[in-house]
Amino acid sequence: MKPLRYYKQLFLAMGLLGTLPTYALAQDTWSPGELNWDYSGSRVERSLNGDSLVIELTVSPSVKLRGQEMVYIFPRYVSADGKESVELDPFCISGKKRYKVIKRRKALHNQKAGQPSSGDVYSIDGLKEAPLTFKSSFPFERWMADGHVAVEERIYGCAECGTDVHGGTAIVGNIPLFGERNYTYDFIVPEKVEIKSYRDSLDCRVSFPVAHHELQKGFGDNRQELVKLAKFISENLTIKGAELREVNIRGYASPEGKFDYNLNSAA
């Protein structure tokens, strides 16, 4: 009997050793660019005022999730060069049987912190009618314009041991840096300034030859009178901020003319 017991123990030990490499290999499996879940309904956009980045992540199953399995999804928004990123809230989707176990465990306060099912958990049954949608918002920064949503999917088995990991890009941002708002200029109303105005007058007597209407500088005292007029105007324009707005000239025709003639000649 002893040899038989010895062989049974030996075979059992060899069988356990044979499963260890398989488990280790499965736990380290990484499939970049291959996502098991469908994120095609997701959207990345900039808010109307341009201050926020709004991410709407939509998840629906594209592969079968067994009753005892669950997938833990870690989304984040990453810059094009991979140097900048913001984390979105992770979530867990569970098979029907595993979901009941998790629900009972949480009801009994038996859930340990750090376990894959310690966060938000959703049943795969709920995704049959409509996909899950998660909305996140972050203050907009320049690097977010050409960023993308990167997703890591960690699949766990019945004992909540890791069996597979997938990662890839769910959606690309392609957000314009400049929109209509960036080209809108503020309308600035100048401060009202009180304007003062005043009138001044000068009597300038010029003479015209008989039966002539042309102003001749060399006739009579016209030259001196015109110099006096020019000086009068220039002195008024030397006042700081002053400008000549209006000039009114009143002239009187020859007293020898008749009334109608003088009226038409006067300005």
Spans of all domains in the chain: 26-178, 197-267
What pLDDT, on the 0 to 100 scale, is given for residue 203? 81
Neighbouring CB atoms inside 10 A of 168's CB total 17
pLDDT, one tens digit per residue, over 56-93 is: 999 988 778 888 888 889 999 999 999 999 999 998 88
Q: What is the CATH number of domain 26-178?
A: 2.60.40.10
Sign of CA dihedral 100, 62, 113, 28: positive
Average pLDDT, the chain: 76
Q: How confident is the model at residue 9 (pLDDT cuts 50, 70, 90)?
A: very low
User: Which residues are within 8 A (CB) of 36 and not within 5 positions of it... i.e. 6 or more apart?
Assistant: 62, 63, 71, 153, 155, 166
Pairing state between β 43-46 and 148-156? unpaired
Average pLDDT, stretch 242-257?
A: 68
Q: Running DSSP on this structure, what letter comes out for residue 43?
A: E
Residue written as token pair 């995704």 = 127
DSSP state of 16: H
pLDDT at 2: 46
Q: Of 23-27, 122-126, 127-131, 230-234, where does mean pLDDT reach its minimum?
A: 23-27
Pull the structure tokens for residue 22: 């398989």
Entry pTM: 0.52
Please answer whether residues 78 and 147 qualify as being in contact, where contact means their C-beta atoms are separated by less than 8 angstroms: yes
CA distance 246 to 234: 14
Q: What is the DSSP letter of 184?
A: P
Whose structure tokens read 């088995």? 157
Task: Give whole-number Cα distances, 191 to 188, 194, 240, in Å.
Answer: 9, 10, 19
